[in-house]
Amino acid sequence: MEQYLKDIINKLEGKSQVSLDVTKWKVQGMIRDMKLQMQQMTNRFQVKDNLARCIEKMEEVMTTLVNVYGRIQVYQEQQSLANYIADISSTAANDINISKPELVSALNELEIHIRSNLVLKQYKTAVDAFKQWVFPFAHTFFGNIHAAIAFRT
């Protein structure tokens, strides 16, 4: 079991949020099973309560570790998005001299599309989070909004 937990710790980096949640669930289940087995084996001994508390602490540590990796992943995604926006908005990128007017126009249009897509991605993330929060009643919140948007366009 010790080797299994070490392997999990070593493999946490780079996992998606869903994968981290599944890993946390598996680790918690395994530790609870181990706790039950240890309680059954040490039922008649005085160390039973101390051992159970140690196992609970280990479960808390592993859960915290998985949560920290999840937060690191979210931070890295936000940082890469911020770096990308900074790169396309930098003065070095804007000071490039382009002589053909059709290329300047195409570049400006491309920049507008990129910024629009970034806003739409953030909007979709926010809407998906809200839908998850109000599940299973999301249709009551978004039914009229999507109809109004479709009517306006």
pLDDT tens digit sequence for 84-117: 777 777 666 667 778 888 988 888 888 888 888 8
pLDDT attached to residue 133? 80
> Quick one: tokens of 51?
């051992």
CA distance 4 to 43: 26
Residue of 93 and 123 predicted with greater confidence:
123
Burial class (CB in 10 A: 0-12, 13-18, 19+), 15: middle
pTM above 0.75, yes or no: no
Residues 6 or more apart whose CB falls under 8 angstroms from that of 59 comprise 27, 28, 31, 32, 35
Residue of 37 and 9 predicted with greater confidence:
37
